[in-house]
Amino acid sequence: MTLNKHIHIVGIGGTLRKPSTSLLALQAALSAAEASGAITTLLDLRTLNLPMYNPEVDYQDYSGNVHQFIKTVRQADGLLISTAAYHGSLAGVTKNALDLLDFLPRRDGESYLHNVPVGLIATAGGDQAAVNTISVLVQIVHSLRGTALPLAVPVHNAKSAFSQDGRITDTKVAVRLNKLGQLIVETAGRFGTKPAGVG
């Protein structure tokens, strides 16, 4: 779709586990976003290896990977966040990355993820926690002044939703991730342009 040509969708996700089901799910949604005409960037938290957020440390004193992380998120027209259910909530590596978004610039009363739509994905070992993980992510996105999409993808029994070689074997999950990828591009297009100086 020509209309969506310049939409930039950034995916933040995966755990430190390899292979990570939440990373596989994120990659599927990003592929769908690309098929809808967006350009995409994957921020794989395992390879990014971000340090712990520390409010005592100034932004300029963090390493280059934190700067790259913040710069890439600033350029996003839409975000996809994918994590794993850990003890009924979200994986610490994801929470830490989201805490680092405190370094996103604030201007004119517009904070953090203002005007940025966010699609959410969570994988879980059981058949309950993924929904709660999504709910927690919605709260976090709202705290960051982002807009959570009305469609999210909780993946229950994640082990049986993916094959050993990383393919999605659960058709419902594949369809939903595909829809999410399309929706984030469509919504980001409706949200319009980034503020001046961002990009």
Ligand X SMILES: Cc1cc2nc3c(=O)[nH]c(=O)nc-3n(C[C@H](O)[C@H](O)[C@H](O)COP(=O)(O)O)c2cc1C
Residues that bind ligand X (CB under 6 A): 15, 17, 20-23, 84-88, 123-126, 129, 158
Nearest to 111 by CA among 137, 74, 86, 81: 74
In the complex, what is the shortest distance from the CB of residue 86 to ligand X, in angstroms, rounded to a whole number?
4
Choose between 115 and 135: whose C-beta lies nearer to ligand X.
135
Alpha-carbon distance of 171 to 116, in angstroms, equals 29
Torsion of CA 155, 161, 163, 166, to 10 degrees: -20
Choose between 98 and 188: whose C-beta lies nearer to ligand X.
98
Alpha-carbon distance of 91 to 155, in angstroms, equals 15
Choose between 37 and 125: whose C-beta lies nearer to ligand X.
125
Contact 11, 88 (CB under 8 A): no
Choose between 14 and 189: whose C-beta lies nearer to ligand X.
14
In the complex, what is the shortest distance from the CB of residue 120 to ligand X, in angstroms, rounded to a whole number?
14
In the complex, what is the shortest distance from the CB of residue 121 to ligand X, in angstroms, rounded to a whole number?
10
